[in-house]
Structures are given as structure tokens and as C-alpha cells.
């Protein structure tokens, strides 16, 4: 009896002990010690602070990137004044009436060499007068228009280079009026000056032409010698203020001579101008029925 009673008590105590352990375990799962809770709270707070810092850093980075990228936005009142660029150097030609000037003229073109002659003139901020043949107008519209666009002058040199002193009045009309019309159709410009082929004229012919007739005072004889050195020798040994120089843009030798002569003339102090400019800036007039060789002071 006693043994049975003791066994029952022992079992009861064991069961009671297991229940207490189970409750402690359950309570431990539900509730952590205070120091653990504090640590977790601190970690959570630190995590929140870190997120705010990241947001702030991102905003700062965006702000700085916007400024540094050159795309800063302004309000109407904050917008800076527009930047006015420094005025670029002008390539416009300026003619000084009191300084030496000459007119270079090219006859019998345009030809395959004429565009390069125009290049040389443009590179040296200079111009010339081109006495063109009507028969060469049709295939050279672009070259003729470029002449005018770059400030050069076009003159009439007849239709097909006949000696005008030997032809009928009807043929003379066709030679001159026909060339004027062809140039006008190609460019919208009518030549105001005339140079008869070979320079052949007489008093009666000059009156019939009804334009100022332009001769020359320096003959390079480029058509004859076809030699660069001789062409330039004829220029440099004879040129002076107010001269009209005769050349022909038909020959490669004339092109090569021009590459040397034009910059050299400029370095010697000459302004290279058109026939109209030469007379205008020297205060001289051009009249139909008259012929001209130069414009000396």
C-alpha cells in the first residue's frame, strides 16, 4: 500500500515538472529578454536611419549631377543673359581709294582652268574681269554664276572671236547682242563693258558697239609664249598703279602664272579689282563709244 502510494506521488511530481518546463519554453518563445528586445529595436532604428541617409544621398547626387551636367534649370527671373559671340573676322573686301590698284582681265573663257583661277582670286580676297565668249557660255553656267557671286565682273568678248572690224553690221549685232543675251540667260546679268577680239577697233566700230571698250596697258602675251616665267616677267617689270593687265584663262601656263602673280602683286601693295571698281574708286567714268587703256592718277 505504502509502495503504491509512493509510486503515485512520484508519477504526479514528474508530470507536474514536465508541465512547468513546457510553460517556460512556451513563454520563452513568446517573450524575449529585455536586453534582446532593446538590441533588436536599436538595429531596427539604425536600419531606418540608414534608409533615410540613402534617400538623402541619392537626392544630393541627383542635385549635383544636374548642376554638373550643364543642364541646370532656371526660372524666368534667374535665367542668365544670352551670350553674344565675339564678332568673327569679316572676309568682305575693302577698297582703299588712295592705295595702288590694278585690274587683271582674262579673255576667251570660260575654260577648264577658269574655276582654278577663281580659286586663286578668292584665296587672295581679290577679283578680276572676265571677257567671255558667247560660244562658251552654254557649258559654263556654273562658272559664270560663281564669277558674279564672288564679286568678279563679266565683260563681252564677242560670240566666237571674229575680228569685228571686218564683219557686217548685222553680224556685229549678233556677235555683241547675242553674247549679252546668252550671259543674261545664264546669270541674269548683262555685261556693261566690251573688249573686241585682238583689240582690233576703229573709230566707227567703237561707236557701233555702244559700250565702253576696254583695252589694256600691260600685255603678258601669255597666248604667245605659254611660259609662266615670261608671263610674270611681263607683269612685274611693267605693272604700276592704275594698270589694266591682259591675260587669257585658256591656258594652263596662265593658271600657273596667276598662282604666283596674284599673291605677289598683293605683297607689293596692289589691290586687285574689277574694271568697274578701278574706274569708280579713281573717280573716272566709263562711257559708251569710248575706249580705255588704264586709269592713271
107 is catalytic: yes
Q: Is the pLDDT of residue 13 over 80?
A: no
Q: What is the CATH number of domain 101-292?
A: 3.20.20.370
How large a percentage of the chain has pLDDT more than 90? Answer: 69
pLDDT in tens, 226-243: 999 999 999 999 999 999
Whole-number pLDDT of residue 96? 97
Bridge-based pairing state of the strands 271-273 and 101-109? parallel
Q: Is the pLDDT of residue 132 over 80?
A: yes
Sign of CA dihedral 207, 294, 219, 126: negative
Grade residue 83 by pLDDT with cuts at 50, 70 and 90: very low
The mean pLDDT value for 182-206 works out to 97
Rounded to whole angstroms, how far apart are CA atoms 97 and 162?
A: 37
Rounded to whole angstroms, how far apart are CA atoms 268 and 213?
A: 29
End-to-end CA distance of the chain: 163
Q: Is the pLDDT of residue 21 over 60?
A: no
194 CB-contact burial (10 Å; exposed 0-12 / middle 13-18 / buried 19+): buried
9, containing H or E segment: helix 2-30
Whole-number pLDDT of residue 92? 83
Q: Which of 108, 157, 180, 248 is catalytic?
A: 248
Rounded (10°) angle between helices 252-267 and 228-236: 30
pLDDT in tens, 255-276: 999 999 999 999 999 999 999 9
Q: Is the pLDDT of residue 224 over 90?
A: yes
Q: Which of 107, 180, 222, 249 is catalytic?
A: 107
Name the pTM for this structure. Answer: 0.71
Please name which of 150, 105, 99, 107 lies closest in space to residue 128, comparing C-alpha atoms.
105
276 is catalytic: no
Rounded to whole angstroms, how far apart are CA atoms 154 and 275?
A: 10
Grade residue 53 by pLDDT with cuts at 50, 70 and 90: very low
Q: Is the pLDDT of residue 54 over 50?
A: no
List Cα–Cα distances, 144 to 106, 120, 274, in angstroms: 13, 16, 15
Rounded to whole angstroms, how far apart are CA atoms 110 and 94?
A: 27
Q: What does the DSSP 8-state code read for residue 79?
A: P
Q: Is the pLDDT of residue 37 over 50?
A: no
The mean pLDDT value for 204-223 works out to 97
Report domain extents, the chain: 101-292
The mean pLDDT value for 155-163 works out to 98
Q: Is the pLDDT of residue 52 over 70?
A: no
Locate 21 and state its grid cell. 518546463
Q: In 10 A of CB 263, how many CB atoms? A: 15
Amino acid at each position: 500500500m505504502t509502495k503504491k502510494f509512493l509510486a503515485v506521488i512520484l508519477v504526479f511530481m514528474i508530470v507536474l515538472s514536465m508541465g512547468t518546463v513546457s510553460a517556460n519554453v512556451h513563454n520563452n518563445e513568446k517573450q524575449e529578454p529585455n536586453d534582446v528586445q532593446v538590441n533588436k529595436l536599436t538595429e531596427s532604428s539604425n536600419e531606418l536611419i540608414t534608409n533615410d541617409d540613402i534617400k538623402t544621398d541619392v537626392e544630393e547626387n541627383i542635385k549635383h549631377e544636374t548642376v554638373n551636367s550643364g543642364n541646370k534649370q532656371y526660372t524666368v527671373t534667374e535665367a542668365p543673359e544670352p551670350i553674344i559671340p565675339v564678332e568673327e573676322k569679316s572676309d568682305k573686301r575693302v577698297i582703299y581709294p588712295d592705295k595702288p590698284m590694278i585690274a587683271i582681265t582674262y579673255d576667251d573663257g570660260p575654260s577648264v582652268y577658269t574655276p582654278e583661277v577663281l580659286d586663286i582670286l578668292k584665296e587672295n580676297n581679290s577679283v578680276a574681269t572676265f571677257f567671255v565668249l558667247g560660244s562658251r557660255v552654254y557649258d559654263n553656267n556654273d562658272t559664270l554664276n560663281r564669277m558674279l557671286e564672288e564679286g568678279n565682273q563679266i565683260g563681252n568678248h564677242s560670240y566666237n572671236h571674229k575680228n569685228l572690224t571686218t564683219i557686217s553690221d548685222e553680224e556685229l549685232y549678233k556677235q555683241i547682242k547675242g553674247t549679252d543675251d546668252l550671259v543674261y540667260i545664264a546669270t541674269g546679268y548683262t555685261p556693261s563693258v566690251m573688249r573686241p577680239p585682238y583689240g582690233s577697233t576703229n573709230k566707227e566700230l567703237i561707236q557701233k558697239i555702244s559700250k565702253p571698250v576696254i583695252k589694256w596697258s600691260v600685255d603678258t602675251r601669255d597666248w604667245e609664249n605659254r611660259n609662266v616665267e615670261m608671263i610674270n616677267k611681263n607683269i612685274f617689270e611693267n605693272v604700276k598703279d592704275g594698270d589694266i593687265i591682259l591675260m587669257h584663262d585658256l591656258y594652263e601656263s596662265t593658271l600657273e602664272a596667276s598662282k604666283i602673280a596674284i599673291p605677289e602683286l598683293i605683297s607689293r601693295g596692289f589691290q586687285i579689282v574689277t574694271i568697274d571698281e578701278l574706274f569708280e574708286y579713281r573717280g573716272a567714268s566709263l562711257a559708251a563709244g569710248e575706249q580705255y587703256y588704264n586709269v592713271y592718277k
